Amino acid sequence: MLKIFFGNREDAIYNTSVYFKNVYRDEWITDSFCCDMIKDIDQSIVVGAHMIESPVLGPITPKDLSGGVKTLILIYKDREHMFNASNCGDNCAKWLLRMAENDDISINLRHLMDFGKEKFELEVMNNGKIVHDMEEFVNAAGEYV
C-alpha cells in the first residue's frame, strides 16, 4: 500500500537529485521496471548503465534524468529512506501506485498529487485514513497541505 505523509518530516530526503547522484548504482538504471519508468516519464531509452538516449537532450547519463524519475528510482530501490515525492509531477503518480501494489511504500508529499480518476488505495499517514479515490484523498489530506 502507498502511504503518504504530508508536511515536514525530519527523516525525509528532500533533495533527491543530489542524493541520487551520490548513491545510485548502475544496476538500478538497467532494471526493467526502472527502464519502463524512464521511458514513460522522460521519453528516454536506456542504452546501458551509463548512457540513456533522450529525444530532447541526446545521449545523457543517469545524473541527467528528470528529478521525477530520479525520485521514483530512489523510492523503488531504497526502501530504508523516505523521499519527498513532491519532486515528481502528476505523471509519476501511477508509478507510485504500481510500486505499492506488492509492497508498502512510504513517501513524503508537500502537495496534493493527482492520482487520477480510477480507484486506488492509499493511506494518509498523518491521520491513518485509507482512501480509495481523489475525492476521499483531498478530504483526508486537505488539512495538511
Q: pLDDT tens, 58-94?
A: 999 999 999 999 999 999 999 999 999 999 999 999 9
Is residue 103 a part of any domain in this protein?
Answer: yes
- Number of CB atoms found within 10 A of residue 89's CB: 13
Is residue 125 a part of any domain in this protein?
Answer: yes
Is residue 27 a part of any domain in this protein?
Answer: no
pTM of this prediction? 0.96
Average pLDDT over residues 48-59: 97
The domain of 9 spans 2-22+65-144
Is residue 50 a part of any domain in this protein?
Answer: no
Q: What is the pLDDT of residues 90-130, one digit of tens each?
A: 999 999 999 999 999 999 999 999 999 999 999 999 999 99
Grid cell 509531477 in the structure block, residue? 89
Which phi and psi (to 5°) does residue 131 adopt? Answer: -120, 160
Based on the structure, what is the number of domains in the chain?
1
Query: 111-114 — which CB contacts under 8 Å span 24+ positions?
Result: 111/86, 111/145, 112/137, 112/138, 112/141, 112/142, 112/145, 113/85, 113/86, 113/88, 114/90
Is residue 102 a part of any domain in this protein?
Answer: yes
Report the DSSP beta bridge partners of residue 123.
Answer: 3, 130
Query: Does 134 have pLDDT greater than 90?
Result: yes
Is residue 126 a part of any domain in this protein?
Answer: yes
Q: What is the pLDDT of residues 2-30, one digit of tens each?
A: 999 999 999 999 999 999 999 999 999 99
